[in-house]
Structure formats: C-alpha cells, structure tokens
Structure 1
Amino acid sequence: RLPCGGVLEVLVENLPADCEVQAHLRALAGALQGQRRLLREVSLPDGTRRLSDDSCQGPRVERDSTRVRLRVGAAQRLLLAGYSSVAHYCAEFGKGLGFEVILCDPRDEVLEGVVLDGVEVRRELPSEFIANGGCHADTAVVALTHDPKIDDLAMLEAVRTEAFYIGVMGSKATSDKRRERLQRIGGLASGELARIHAPIGLNLGSKTPAEIALAVLADILRMRNGIERAAL
C-alpha cells in the first residue's frame, strides 16, 4: 500500500505476435497521434480486448470486477486564444497538469518580453490556427483577452471542432452581449452557443489573474473527467 492509503494495481497482458495484435496496436498508435479517440476494454477473466470509439469525457481508467476500460487519445492540449495576465497563469498551470500548451496571438506589442518556457507560442490569429486543424477532441480552447477580434473569432472556429472544452472570459453581461453577436453576426445556432462556457471557469469568487486561471483550469479538469457541476 502507498503512504496515502491507496493501492497500485498492474495489468499485465500477453500480446501474441499476430496480425490481430498488430492491427490493434496500429489503431492505438493512431489514437495517440490524434486521429481518433478510443475506448480500450480488456476482459479480466480471459484477457480478450476490444476497441470502440470514445465520444465522452470521463476517467482515464475505470475498472470493475470483470473488465478494465482505458481511454486512449492524443496528449491533452490547452489552446490559449490570445495573451493576457490570466492566460499567462493558465499556461503555467496547464504545464503543471500535463497539458500540451499552445498560445496564439498575432500582436507583437502584447508578446514583447513575454517568457513562457515549455509553451509553443504562435504569432497568428487563434481562429486561423483552429481553422487549419489546430484542435482535436482532447483540446481545451480558452479565450482570455477581452478583445472581440480575437475572442469572438476564436469561438466561431472552436465550435466547429471536436474540442471538449470551449470557454471565453467576461462578466455575465459581457457574455450575454457576446452570445448575441455570435448568433447575429456569426450565425451560430443555439446548440453551438451552448458549447461555450461563458463566463468561463468555476465560480470560486476569483479576483486576481492567478485565481481566475485556477477557476478556468479547475473547470477544464471537471469536464475532462466527466463530472457535472451539480456533483461538485
């Protein structure tokens, strides 16, 4: 047992060198490269395994008395649409949580002097990066600039992707105005608007940039683990 009282369990599988196993491993490799998300299920009594498409968020590993289920997909990605003080803390927190962090902002004057080790910084509009395939099903897109030219355009493109979390910063009044703009100018339907978390993050009473970033990442983790807000 571990000092915390938990227990580690190890699953050992016998994979014969045959064509079926090779096809199985190729499918897993494709999932890790972001081609699709898979749910891998292993039967504990006899070791048989099967793959199915994974369209939901939830725990990475689940187990009952007869099977183990593992979610397989690309590295979790945090796409920051535009730089701000809140985005800076989101980048730092995201790295610590194991996300692949990408920051997109075309504004040279905003990025001047910004140092973010371990973060891919792209000097382009986030909407262009998203439109060119920058999102997959394991991507969280957050817009934190208060600049409609960046935030709104990012939302218009993000809702057309499989991103599991899409959020934009702003007060309730600002968020209501943004929804009206996105519907009137962007032509978004109610279902697309419903995918956007605005105001973004959990209601933790956050005031400072670091506190807001904490609320944002906490909400992303909640979604990634398939937990409803009402269950918190």
Structure 2
Amino acid sequence: MDSIDLQVLQACVQWLQQGHACEYVTVVRTWGSSPRPPGSTMAIRADGVVVGSVSGGCIEDDLIAHARVDGMTRRTPQRLSYGISADEAHRFGLPCGGTVELLVEPLGPHSQMAALLARLQRRVLTRRRLDLASGTVLLEDAGEDAPLQLDTHSLTTLHGPRLRLLIIGAGQLSQFLAQIATALDYQVTVCDPREEHRLAWSLPGVSVVHAMPDDLVLEMRLDHRSAVVALTHDPRLDDMALMEALKTDAFYIGAIGSRLNQSRRRERLLQLDLDADQIAKLHGPVGLDIGSRTPHEIAISIMAQMIQVRGGTREAAMPAY
C-alpha cells in the first residue's frame, strides 16, 4: 500500500505519459479550522478525475467543475483561496470560517514529476523548489525535515520518507502495522532473526532483515524521526532492541505485553545500564486504549499512539497488550 502522496505523484506521471492535461494542487496555507494541513496534495486531470485530497470534498468539486467547463488553461502556477467569506466557508465545508490557500500547478516535462517519483522510490528525501513565474522545478537532496516554504518567487516542499519505523518481529501483527505505516509514508524495516517467521512475510516494499535486533538498532542510527515497536513477546529479542533504542532520540519506542510483563521488563532494563529517565520513554503496554482486540485493531491502536506522541498531545490510558 503506497502513501497518498506517492499515489498522487504516480497519477501525475501516468497521466503525463498518456498525454493528458493535468495539474498538481498543493495546500500552501490555512487559517482557522481546515480539513487538510499545508503540504497536502491532489492531482486533477482535464476530465475531472482526481487523486488525493485538499479538503473534505467541496473544494475538489469546485476544481473539478472548473476543469470540465473551462478546461486547463493555466500556463504558470496560480494561487487560489477558498473560504474567505462566511458564505464561502459554509459552501466549501470549512468549519469556523476556515480559509485554505492552494497553489495550482500546470504540469509538463518541466515539472520533473517522473524524476521526483524515481527519487522517492529510491527512498531519497527530496526538496522540490518550484519557480512561480516560470513553473520550472529544481530537485535537491534534503538532509533534514523542513516546513513548506512559500514566498513571492517560489514554493519549496519536502518529499520522501520523513519518518522511519523499525518493527521487531515478523508476525501477523507486524504485517498489519507495516501496512498502515507504509500508507502514512514511513520507511518500514522489520527485523527478525527467526527464519520461520521471515519466510511467511508477504508485504512488498518493506525490508525484512535477518539480524539481531540490538545490532540493527545501532546500525540504523535512530534519530528524532525514528520509531521502534517490539512485537515478538520474546524478551531475548525485544529487550535487547529496547535496551539500545531507549538510548537514542527515537520519538516513539513501544513494546507489546501485559502490564505485569511490562513491569518485569522495566526491572530487567534497569539491570542493563539504563536509567529511570530512559526507561520512562517506553510505551508499554503498547497502543491507545480503543478497545482493540484483533491484530488489525491493535495495529491501529499502536499507530494512533505514535501519531499522538509525534503530535505532542496528551496520552490516554493504555490497554493490556
């Protein structure tokens, strides 16, 4: 399952190859309540076919209507605003008088969409700089996360696997979690030294590594864009990975297991040269308490907690997984 941003780029490349007129739409600014954050993208074809989203649907409907009636006549990027007045906010489904500013970019060879897609398929974090006067694009390697930047001359956006997820264990739950994470544009690596578990893996696009988890944690050099989830139920694998992960700047570290098992795990980690502050970073039992019981549901609860922690919001009570 590809992320929605990747699906949008794939649509752009395919439509250009097929000779369709198409445009690339980016949310560049929002005020008040907005359904989609800055950086959200959508591709629209001249016949009104769309991939991606820039609102709850009403703005898309307006763009589709204009494409079908007026055609795609833009030659250079154009900024559009929706929801400035109360009537427009109501019409376009923007709550509380929200406003969305879009940049609509007519696509062609100068847009370098195929080159951008190729870079993303190689997992290269890429900065895309669009010249607003000419529509030409410059692609550059990007070393760190950077916010969307818009000025009178250019729009700069970041594309690629901004976040990494290391999953310890190649079981069924790991597959569901990897699917969700991939759709959210994580670069997912699964580590399991047990051959019988790796052989059953069937998710394309996810690296499955035969290595000891603690060695792989050290090799990956986890940073603030990294997360680790231990799902084997085997302390010999989970604890060794956690021991090294808790020493890093990873923004999320979680482990499956009941409250009793987590208490015992914390006692073991204290004996492995970790201090109380490092152990406090561990989310265990893992996942938010949303009443989940099946592997699908538990995977959703884990990803929900990762999103919550990444966003810095208050954590809810945790289930006994």
TM-score w.r.t. the length of structure 2 is 0.53
Alpha-carbon deviations, 1:168-215, whole Å to 9, x = none?
A: 00111111110011012x121111011110111101121111111110
Q: How does 1:138-153 map to 2 (within 5 A)?
A: 138-153=225-240
Aligned to 1:99: 186
For the pair shown, which has the larger CA radius of gyration, 1 or 2? 2
In 1: Cα distance, 2:224 partner to 2:279 partner:
18
- 2:321 matches 1:228: no
The 5 Å alignment of 1:112-151 reads 112-151=199-238
Structure 1: distance between partners of 2:307 and 2:147: 21
Q: Which residue is equivalent to 1:77?
A: 164
Alpha-carbon contact 1:80-1:103 (below 8 Å) kept = yes
Match of 1:199 in 2: 285
Aligned partners of 1:159 and 1:10: how far apart in 2?
41
Q: 1:10 to 1:150 in 2, by over 3 A?
A: same
Between 1 and 2, higher relative CO (CA 8 Å, sep ≥ 6) is seen in 1
Where 2:233 maps in the other structure, the secondary structure is coil
Q: Is 110-119 or 207-216 further displaced after alignment? A: 110-119
Which position in structure 2 is the counterpart of 1:29?
A: 142
Q: Give the Cα separation in 2 of the matches to 1:208 and 1:137.
A: 30
Please show how residues 173-192 of structure 1 align to structure 2 within 5 Å: 173-184=260-271, 186-192=272-278
Give the distance between the partners of 1:223 and 1:211, measured in 2 at CA.
18
Determine the structure 1 residue equivalent to 2:197.
Answer: 110
Quote the Cα distance in structure 2 between the aligned partners of 1:211 and 1:81.
Answer: 18
1:9 matched to 2:96? The reply is no
AA aligned to 2:223 is H
SS class of match (1:145): coil
Q: CA offsets per residue over residues 34-66 of structure 1, 9 Å max, x none?
A: xxx5x558697x88xxxxxxxxxxxxxxxxxxx
CA pair 90-127 structure 1, distance change in 2 beyond 3 A: same
Q: 1:116-159, CA deviations, whole angstroms, 9 ceiling, x for partnerless residues?
A: 11111111122111111342221110001100011101100101
Q: Number of residue pairs matched?
A: 194
Q: Do structure 1's residue 212 and structure 2's residue 298 form an aligned pair?
A: yes
Cα distance in 1 for residues equivalent to 2:282 and 2:158: 24
> How far, CA to CA, are the matches of 2:250 and 2:286 in structure 1?
15
SS in 2 for 1:9: strand
Q: Give the Cα–Cα distance (whole angstroms) in 2 for the partners of residues 216 and 153 of structure 1.
A: 21
Do the aligned partners of residues 119 and 14 (structure 1) sit closer, same or farther apart at CA in structure 2, a change above 3 Å counting? closer
8 Å contact from structure 2 (residues 225, 250) kept in 1: yes
Structure 2 residues without counterparts, runs of 5 or longer: 1-58, 62-91, 95-99, 105-128, 133-138, 317-321
Structure 1 residues 42 and 87: CA distance shift in structure 2, 3 A: closer
RMSD: 3.1
Percent identity between the aligned chains? 36
Shift of the 222–101 alpha-carbon distance from structure 1 to 2, 3 Å rule, reads same
2:227 is paired with a residue of what secondary structure? strand
For residues 146 and 214 of structure 1, what CA distance do their matches in structure 2 show? 19
Identify the residue that residue 59 of structure 1 maps to in structure 2. Answer: none
- Displacement, 1:92? 1.2
In structure 2, do the counterparts of structure 1 residues 228 and 152 end up closer, same or farther at CA, with 3 Å as the change threshold? same
Change (3 A) 1:109 1:217: same
Which of 177, 185, 189 aligns to 1:90? It is: 177
Q: Is the 8 A contact 1:172 1:199 kept in 2?
A: yes
